[in-house]
Structure 1
Amino acid sequence: MVLLLAGSPAIAETADGALLAGACQGCHGVSGEGGHGIPSIRQMHDRQQFVALMRAFRANERPNTVMGRISRGYTDAEIAALAAHFAKPQ
């Protein structure tokens, strides 16, 4: 258990987009495809748009259901890593 706890800060520091994207799967789907009223984030090629959307959610500047609360859990580095991850072809 100590190893897991010791490794946790390294995960946050490296901001691994693929690892972080796992949290998005519950709503946006395994590949970010969305559906059932949830928008697709798969192949969102404009990284700046992704970052701007996440920051707007985090600042409560964009109406949403849960994304405001979810986005507050991410640092700017983690949001950038997610943007890079979802910009890649799946």
Structure 2
Amino acid sequence: MKKTIRVTALAASALTVLAVQAQSAQAPVSQHLARNLAAQCANCHGTNGRSVAEVPSLAGQSAAVLVSKMKDYKDGKQQATIMHQLSKGYTDEQIALIADYYSKQPK
């Protein structure tokens, strides 16, 4: 009986450790993915979303506003030179990652 309890407790502890490690391993991956996805915007919107041209800067904008704008482009509600085409290449999850990344960048 004691052996069964010990084995069960050990298994539960091991599963808890694995779950915590899996969660902490996902955070950096999504941060790197967000940064890599956002890097595709640099040609027009500048490094880290700080534009030096006529194109709007993305850095420091609200993530909700950025998601809304991207969805409007993607759904065809907002026309543009190229954004209505580019936005269709991103999933909603990718758009959310990009928006979150830019919202955390200093203006």
- Superposed counterparts of 1:9-28, under 5 Å: 14=30, 16-28=33-45
Larger radius of gyration: 2
Extract unaligned runs of 5+ from structure 1: 1-13
1:38 is matched with which residue: 55, 67, 92?
55
RMSD: 1.5
Secondary structure at the aligned position of 1:42 is classed as coil
Considering fraction of residues, name the structure with more helix. Answer: 2
Aligned counterpart, 1:49: 65
Structure 2 distance, partners of 1:59, 1:89, is: 26
Name the % identity.
29
1:63 is matched with which residue: 79, 83, 87?
79
Residue deviations 1:33-90, cap 9 Å, x none? Answer: 123220010111x211111100000111112110001000000000000011001134
| TM-score between both structures, scaled by the size of structure 1 | 0.77
Aligned counterpart, 2:103: 87
Extract unaligned runs of 5+ from structure 2: 1-29
Aligned length: 76
| TM-score between both structures, scaled by the size of structure 2 | 0.66
Higher relative contact order (CA 8 A, sep 6+): 1
